[in-house]
Structure 1
Amino acid sequence: MESRLALIGFGEAGSTFARAASWGKTTTAFDINDSRQQIMRESGVTPCDSAESALYNADMVLSLVTADSAPLVAKDYAGFLKKNALWCDMNSIAPQTKQSNAQRVNAAGGRYIDVAVMAPVDPTALDVPLLIAGPNAAEAEQNLNALGFKKTRIVGEQIGRASAIKMIRSVMVKGLEALSWECAAAADQADVFEEVMTSLDASEKDWPWAKRVVYNRERMTTHGARRAAEMEESAKTLEGFGIEPVMTRGTVIRQRRAVGQNGNERNDTR
């Protein structure tokens, strides 16, 4: 007997996956935005007017909602689940939030799966890397593969482990995006963009991230007080050009605290 799939949330991720997979009308979907029902039809899935009808008799659920909605749908919709249905929480939320969601889903008779989506779904679609964690991760991976997801990996049985990898990685990925924006905005205002970018290219090291982290930590614990003072001047520079130094202020704090943890500040000019 063919297993039934339900999608909760039909924004960018849900519609991208459905279009790429051609899951067919046995797949049901619900979104609180009624206007997305037409997109559901165009994507080949059956739109439902309620979460209850979408989840009725579903063997597997993909939760693809906004981060703030993820706990709400787990709490409000878990009671509609078929016994032993797999609830794949694919939302970008903290591991602690996923553990709380898991309690609600499991208490209602479902089986919660922590799934981390590790790249933008457009244009990767079913080629997007997925990390899977939970006691039923092996079964979930098999089912996700059957749905067409090609790049899956189990990272453990503990709920929240997949999410922890993603969310901590995001500190670096999204942080670099924000830092790049702040740096470039100030460089534009100062009319030194090309010079700054050329200087960054010249100092870039082709190192694995683990080696970079070791190097950066040593620099901070050894020279953090002086570097914090320099970054305070960088913050003044940005303010002088009308750019709020949000990320730069955070750097001042982190550099200074690194010294307090190590207590070994050298008075040199490196």
Structure 2
Amino acid sequence: MSDYVTNAHTIALVGFGEAANAVLAGWGLGGSGRVSAYDIKTDDAETAPRMRSHYTVAGVRGADTLQDALAGASLVFCLVTADRALAAAEAAAAAIEPGTLWLDGNSCAPQTKRAAAEAIDAAGGRYVDVAIMAPIFPMRHQTPMLLAGPFAEDAAAAMTAMDMRVDIAGETVGDASTIKMIRSVMIKGIEALTAECMLAAHRAGVADAVLQSLAGSDPGRNWPAKSAYNLERMMVHGARRAAEMREVAATLDGLGLPSRMAQATAEWHDQVARLGLPGGEAELDSRARRILDAL
């Protein structure tokens, strides 16, 4: 088995946000000289200096172009936003080296992943549908992931050698992402329901009574703490979650089912994200009040 951590393989990270930084830290490869990274923020004169500084601090070789990041890479983790995943794959097809594993960990509809696979595979790469099935923190590179596609076995061998936790969902691209997308109807939907319920409760001045009633119905859940956490997810990561939920809606549409909840969830995440608020203190009342003040 080829060990991508201890052997001299070059790993490329396409997208250098929270997920990429988390897995990089988990591998312990910062400063190794073996990891390149490219983020689209490098293309923007306003955001480029900060991103280049980020590359330096993380100990990766920051690339000014996607083509530069892919040069010599035998393993690529694509961790951009859901609405950029297909464009990233299509752009990479012009530069990816034959046999390179392209691990698409973006939260996309199965049909989006199949389109990305066509681009990568036609260029000689090996596309793998990757679904990240839990928050990337605190487990980082050991966060459970599902793999699918004809090259899933190859990816599983490489990722297991890097101490990653993976399971194969199927041999067809889209098998992993379908599970992820349908799960997100519940997970991200609950976050949006939290916002609608708790913001209304605080504005009406009945938050304590509502929380007390919820605790009576489900005493095993810490409603204030979980609600505060859900609001923080939307405040900090709402834009990315909204993009994911639009892919969820596309998944449901492809199944011939209504996507009303998914669409409404995307709208809530987008609206909270656009406020540009930091998570701040991990306290429900504070977060709810700050969101209400900004709406």
- The normalised TM-score by structure 2 is 0.66
1:14 to 11, 14, 20: 20
> What is the CA–CA distance in structure 1 between the aligned matches of 2:195 and 2:135, rounded to whole Å?
19
> What is the CA–CA distance in structure 2 between the aligned matches of 1:90 and 1:140, rounded to whole Å?
12
Q: Kindly state the Cα deviation for residue 19 of structure 1 after the two structures are TM-superposed.
A: 2.4
Match of 1:203 in 2: 217
Secondary structure of 1:69's aligned partner: helix
Secondary structure of 1:135's aligned partner: coil
Q: Deviations over 1:143-196 (max 9, x none)?
A: 1122232x2111111101111111111101111111121112222222222222
1:126 to 137, 141, 146: 141
Please, which runs of 5 or more residues in structure 2 have no aligned partner? 1-6, 43-49, 221-259, 265-295
Count of aligned pairs = 208
> What is the CA–CA distance in structure 1 between the aligned matches of 2:139 and 2:41, rounded to whole Å?
25
Match of 2:121 in 1: 106
1:172-187 → structure 2 map (5 Å cutoff): 172-187=186-201
> What is the CA–CA distance in structure 2 between the aligned matches of 1:26 and 1:71, rounded to whole Å?
26
Residue range with higher mean Cα deviation, 40-49 or 83-92: 40-49
Q: Kindly state the Cα deviation for residue 10 of structure 1 after the two structures are TM-superposed.
A: 0.8
1:61 to 45, 58, 76: 76
Match of 2:205 in 1: 191
Secondary structure of 1:13's aligned partner: helix
Match of 2:167 in 1: 153
> What is the CA–CA distance in structure 2 between the aligned matches of 1:205 and 1:153, rounded to whole Å?
34
Which amino acid is the alignment partner of residue 27 of structure 2? A
1:24-39 → structure 2 map (5 Å cutoff): 24-34=32-42, 35-39=50-54
Q: Kindly state the Cα deviation for residue 205 of structure 1 after the two structures are TM-superposed.
A: 8.8
> What is the CA–CA distance in structure 1 between the aligned matches of 2:27 and 2:58, rounded to whole Å?
9
1:73-88 → structure 2 map (5 Å cutoff): 73-88=88-103
RMSD of the TM alignment (CA)? 2.0
Residue range with higher mean Cα deviation, 78-87 or 191-200: 191-200
Match of 1:43 in 2: 58
Match of 2:247 in 1: none
Q: Kindly state the Cα deviation for residue 87 of structure 1 after the two structures are TM-superposed.
A: 0.4
Q: Kindly state the Cα deviation for residue 28 of structure 1 after the two structures are TM-superposed.
A: 1.3
> What is the CA–CA distance in structure 1 between the aligned matches of 2:209 and 2:65, rounded to whole Å?
56
Which amino acid is the alignment partner of residue 178 of structure 1? A
The structure with higher relative contact order (CA 8 Å, sep 6+) is 2
Which amino acid is the alignment partner of residue 115 of structure 1? V
Bigger radius of gyration = 1
Which amino acid is the alignment partner of residue 77 of structure 1? A
> What is the CA–CA distance in structure 2 between the aligned matches of 1:148 and 1:47, rounded to whole Å?
24
Please, which runs of 5 or more residues in structure 1 have no aligned partner? 207-245, 251-270
Secondary structure of 1:33's aligned partner: helix
> What is the CA–CA distance in structure 1 between the aligned matches of 2:212 and 2:199, rounded to whole Å?
16
Match of 2:183 in 1: 169
Contact 1:15 1:40 in 2 (8 A): no
Q: Kindly state the Cα deviation for residue 22 of structure 1 after the two structures are TM-superposed.
A: 2.2
> What is the CA–CA distance in structure 1 between the aligned matches of 2:138 and 2:188, rounded to whole Å?
19
Secondary structure of 1:61's aligned partner: strand
Secondary structure of 1:70's aligned partner: helix
> What is the CA–CA distance in structure 1 between the aligned matches of 2:149 and 2:10, rounded to whole Å?
21
Contact 1:15 1:39 in 2 (8 A): no
Which amino acid is the alignment partner of residue 40 of structure 2? I
Contact 1:22 1:43 in 2 (8 A): no
- The normalised TM-score by structure 1 is 0.72
